[in-house]
Amino acid sequence: MKRRIGIATYAAISLIFVLPPQSYLHDILHSFAVQAIIGYGLLGLLASFFRRMLMTAASLGAALLIAGSLYLMQGESVNVTMANSYAEDTLVRVAHFNVLCSNQRFQETADSARATQADLLSFQEVSEDWGKQLKQLLSDEYPYFHIVTDAENASRGLAVFSKHPVEDVQTIYWDDMPNITGNVLLQGEAIHFIASHTLSPRNRGRYQQRNRHIRRIARYIKTIDRPVLAIGDYNVVPWNPVIRELTQATDLQHSHTGWQPTFPARFQGMGVPIDYIFHSPEFHCRKFKALPAAGSDHRGIVGEYLLNTEG
């Protein structure tokens, strides 16, 4: 009886990855649901090898339960736009990098950004040194830029660089966190963008502020009546309920069409995807991938999008 209770408790732990997070600790654990699926699956196979049938059933059942939950939680957030109404001459490339403010590999990061051939670049954790270096290394090819730094907290610095003219650029603060907004003029279209960096949920206050920030982004995007790109490190995984709130409220779609973890960079494919390029339904995401890290704890991301200009 004790053995069965122990196995039932072991299987019940999977509910951590199924139930919506209600605290910052739960939120952090919930972010590793994919790793939990892999772990339960491997333990199930191991138990099967040793003919521990009850443990096998509990492990594989837990893996299936978490997988089904993830599918339901993020199923409405994936890129579902059809490409057949989009012309090839409306291709838009966007790249994003959380550079890590203490990182000093300026040239390597700039080279990686250039190699994406992106029309619009977003950078986060931009210290004053990073701002100067990015301006020096990129402004010849990306002459339209806006840099925001914070001398007291370098991790809050942001920058955007564009190959094309940019209008109505603003820095908007919500809960003391900056967001850069504006319109990039590309192929006769004005595309709105918002670049944001939310707090990591390391304690209750930061967890609540992160969620408020994402909800504030959603309210802002609902006021925009043109194609929109929302870019940044949101410090939350795609299957988190607050991301589902964002996508349902705005009709935005995230570009994670495959498993592309971005943090921590050293974990590669075993990390979690918390960096985003969201796009409005006028776009179709043709390609999306994570990039090698250049000294940062985040991998960069780049996406290619086709824009429907027929309305």
For residue 80, is it within any domain?
no
The whole-angstrom separation of Cα 8 and Cα 13 is 9
| Average pLDDT score over the chain | 90
pLDDT, tens digit, for every residue of 274-291?
999 999 999 999 999 999
Q: Choose the final residue of a domain: 50, 74, 98.
A: 74
For residue 104, is it within any domain?
yes
**Looking at the structure, do residues 292 and 259 belong to the same domain, yes or no?**
yes
For residue 269, is it within any domain?
yes
**Looking at the structure, do residues 67 and 152 belong to the same domain, yes or no?**
no
For residue 239, is it within any domain?
yes
**Looking at the structure, do residues 166 and 223 belong to the same domain, yes or no?**
yes
**Looking at the structure, do residues 150 and 200 belong to the same domain, yes or no?**
yes
**Looking at the structure, do residues 135 and 268 belong to the same domain, yes or no?**
yes
For residue 83, is it within any domain?
no
**Paired strand residues for 278:** 230, 254
CATH of residue 302's domain is: 3.60.10.10
Domain count along the chain: 2
> Sign of torsion, CA 118 273 23 66?
positive
Helix (H, G, I), strand (E, B) or coil at 68: helix
Q: Choose the final residue of a domain: 32, 50, 74.
A: 74
**Looking at the structure, do residues 94 and 135 belong to the same domain, yes or no?**
yes
**Looking at the structure, do residues 51 and 151 belong to the same domain, yes or no?**
no
The whole-angstrom separation of Cα 306 and Cα 105 is 32
**Looking at the structure, do residues 290 and 147 belong to the same domain, yes or no?**
yes
**Looking at the structure, do residues 190 and 274 belong to the same domain, yes or no?**
yes
- pLDDT score, position 256: 79
Is residue 299's pLDDT more than 70? yes
15 pLDDT band (50/70/90 cuts)? confident
**Looking at the structure, do residues 242 and 296 belong to the same domain, yes or no?**
yes
Q: DSSP of 241-303, one letter per residue?
A: HHHHHHHHHH--EE---S----BSGGGGGGSB--EEEEE-TTEEEEEEEE---SSSSS--EEE
Of 75 and 118, which is predicted with more confidence?
118
For residue 82, is it within any domain?
no
Q: Across residues 242-266, what is the average pLDDT? A: 91
Q: Choose the final residue of a domain: 74, 102, 123.
A: 74
81 pLDDT band (50/70/90 cuts)? very low
- pLDDT score, position 132: 97
Q: Supply the pTM of this predicted model.
A: 0.91
pLDDT, tens digit, for every residue of 82-136?
444 555 558 999 999 999 999 999 999 999 999 999 999 999 999 999 999 999 9
**Looking at the structure, do residues 189 and 241 belong to the same domain, yes or no?**
yes
**Looking at the structure, do residues 169 and 244 belong to the same domain, yes or no?**
yes
pLDDT, tens digit, for every residue of 29-49?
999 999 999 999 999 999 888
For residue 81, is it within any domain?
no
Domain membership of residue 47 as a residue range: 2-74
Of 177 and 7, which is predicted with more confidence?
177
- pLDDT score, position 268: 84
For residue 79, is it within any domain?
no
